[in-house]
């Protein structure tokens, strides 16, 4: 196991372009699971023997029909020895096969480094945003326009993931001119689940109308029409994926207000914008090179610190060229290199093999994949567990940390006096600082 563990970091990165390596890692995971099961069986048997030693054999009273022979120590030892032998043989075979992939031994960075970042919903300070002045003004001009005879106009912000669509919508939503021009402002995060009933209830709740869990669709639509009637409203539907025009029409028919009411939709898909409604489409482009570097420096260094490392800044400029102006990619790599002052660390990011992979439209950003690969193994496991949560769900830190604890995912040395809850909080802050949340 120790022989294999030394090359796991290299294997996980290289599997992206090597199908055989992916299969090998899957087989390795299966064997490790078998080993964990064996350890569990030993632990259960040890506990059983402790109970028998303390209280005597209670199998007749507790286990009923289970035969005492199933607890024969010799039978247990014989069964487990065969399991251990099988696991050892599988591990030896896997250890031999690793030579086929020319894997390098690497040591894992055990340090957790994070900085505090604000979590936002419909609000983000202007001072935290770089390079959106023109985009913001264009959207506000469209929203302030009185529109045509339709009582509700729709405007779209379209761009790939990580381009800053939500951030731009947040800036517009909180602009003083928008606040003064509309009677009601409503923010709804849509994501994949475009349910007319669910969205209508969310809009009703945000608009200040009465909402309860047992409301029918008839009650919701009556309340929503009554609440919005006579108001000039501004609704943001953030992160829309639905391409079904009929569902959109069903929702729009419920949104009737004063002339000049506006709906702002953010989406990754031009097709979503075309299917939903006619209206102006604002396509987001990448940040200019100057703004990219400014954002990168803000994330990679403490204030003013970059002046001490001109060579790192030069390497950073080359890294930024690979981000293609995507703010999320810039922030992610900046956070990844935060606190690292060795040139080799920066060069390894710049020259990583991931940049050579073909980037398809719906693929994860290479910068995010690279940042994930650089996570410590225990943080990867915690993030994998977190991915079981539905998209956009709100969670409490301690609930998630306790789930990590229950599954044995928090790493603590025997000599450490730090509480597991505090370690879990450190893990959360690290993942947050790297833009995984």
pLDDT tens track, the chain, 437 positions: 666 777 777 787 777 778 888 888 888 888 888 988 999 999 998 998 888 888 876 555 555 444 444 567 788 888 999 999 999 999 888 888 888 888 887 766 555 544 443 333 555 555 557 767 888 999 999 888 876 666 788 899 998 888 889 999 999 999 999 999 998 899 988 877 788 888 888 888 888 776 667 788 888 888 888 888 888 899 999 988 888 888 888 888 888 878 888 999 999 888 888 888 888 899 888 888 888 889 999 989 988 888 899 999 999 999 888 888 888 888 888 888 888 888 888 998 888 877 776 666 556 678 888 888 888 888 888 999 988 888 778 889 999 999 999 998 998 877 778 899 999 999 998 888 887 87
CA distance 72 to 59: 12
| Cα–Cα distance measured from residue 435 to residue 338, given in angstroms and rounded to the nearest whole number | 13
Q: Cα(368)–Cα(182) distance, rounded to whole angstroms?
A: 38
Which phi-psi region, left, alpha or beta, contains residue 210 (left: φ > 0; alpha: ψ -120 to 50)? beta
Cα–Cα distance, 197 to 111 (Å, whole number)? 47
Which stretch of DSSP H or E encloses residue 236? strand 233-240
List alpha helices for 56-132, DSSP H.
59-62, 73-97
Q: In 3D, which of 236, 258, 227 has the Cα closest to residue 146? A: 258
What order of strands is seen across the sheet that includes strand 184-191?
184-191, 233-240, 261-267, 152-158, 281-283
What does the pLDDT read at residue 311? 93
Rounded CA-CA distance 343/313 in Å is: 10
* Model pLDDT for residues 171-190, shown as the tens digit of each residue: 999 999 999 999 889 998 88
Q: How far is CA 353 from CA 41, 134, 202, in A?
A: 42, 35, 44
158, β-bridge pairs: 267, 283
CB 228 within 8 A of CB 207: yes
Q: Are 271 and 361 in contact (CB under 8 A)?
A: no
Tens digit of pLDDT for each residue in 84-117?
999 999 988 888 888 888 888 776 655 554 444 3
Q: What is the pTM of this model?
A: 0.68
Closest CA to 276 of 265, 284, 261: 265
CA nearest 170: which of 233, 264, 255?
A: 264
Residue of 98, 97, 181 whose CA lies nearest to 140: 181
The Cα–Cα gap between 178 and 411 comes to: 48
Distance between CA atoms of residues 176 and 336, nearest Å = 35
């Amino acid at each position: 196991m120790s022989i294999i563990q030394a090359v796991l970091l290299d294997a996980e990165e290289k599997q992206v372009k090597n199908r055989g390596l992916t299969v090998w890692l899957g087989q390795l995971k299966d064997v490790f699971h078998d080993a964990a099961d064996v350890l569990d069986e030993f632990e259960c048997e040890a506990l059983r023997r402790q109970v028998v030693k303390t209280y005597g054999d209670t199998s007749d009273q507790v286990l009923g029909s289970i035969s005492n022979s199933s607890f024969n120590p010799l039978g247990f030892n014989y069964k487990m020895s065969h399991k251990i032998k099988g696991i050892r043989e599988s591990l030896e075979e896997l250890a031999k096969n690793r030579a086929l992939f020319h894997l390098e031994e690497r040591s894992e960075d055990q340090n957790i480094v994070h900085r505090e970042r604000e979590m936002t919903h419909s609000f983000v300070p202007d001072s935290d945003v770089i390079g959106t002045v023109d985009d913001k003004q264009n959207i506000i001009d469209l929203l302030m326009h009185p529109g045509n005879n339709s009582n509700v106009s729709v405007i779209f912000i379209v761009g790939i993931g990580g381009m800053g669509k939500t951030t731009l919508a947040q800036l517009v939503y909180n602009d003083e001119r928008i606040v003064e021009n509309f009677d009601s402002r409503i923010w709804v995060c849509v994501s994949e689940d475009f349910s007319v009933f669910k969205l209508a209830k969310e809009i009703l709740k945000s608009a200040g109308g009465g909402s309860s869990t047992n409301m029918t669709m008839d009650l919701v639509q009556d309340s929503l029409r009554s609440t919005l009637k006579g108001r000039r409203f501004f609704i943001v539907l953030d992160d829309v994926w639905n391409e079904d025009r009929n569902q959109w029409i069903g929702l729009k028919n419920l949104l009737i207000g004063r002339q000049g009411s506006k709906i702002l939709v953010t989406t990754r898909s031009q097709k979503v914008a075309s299917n939903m409604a006619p209206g102006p489409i604002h396509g987001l482009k990448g940040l200019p090179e100057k703004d990219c570097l400014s954002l990168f420096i803000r994330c990679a260094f403490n204030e003013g610190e970059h002046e001490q490392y001109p060579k790192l800044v030069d390497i950073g400029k080359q890294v930024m060229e690979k981000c293609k102006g995507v703010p999320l990619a810039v922030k992610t790599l900046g956070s990844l290199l935060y606190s690292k002052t060795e040139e080799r660390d920066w060069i390894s990011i710049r020259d990583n093999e991931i940049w050579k992979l073909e980037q398809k439209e719906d693929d994860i950003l290479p910068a995010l994949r690279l940042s994930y690969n650089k996570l410590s193994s225990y943080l990867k496991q915690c993030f994998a567990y977190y991915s079981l949560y539905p998209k956009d769900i709100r969670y409490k830190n301690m609930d998630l940390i306790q789930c990590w604890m229950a599954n044995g995912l928090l790493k603590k040395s025997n000599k450490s006096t730090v509480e597991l809850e505090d370690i879990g909080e450190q893990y959360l802050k690290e993942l947050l600082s790297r833009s995984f949340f």
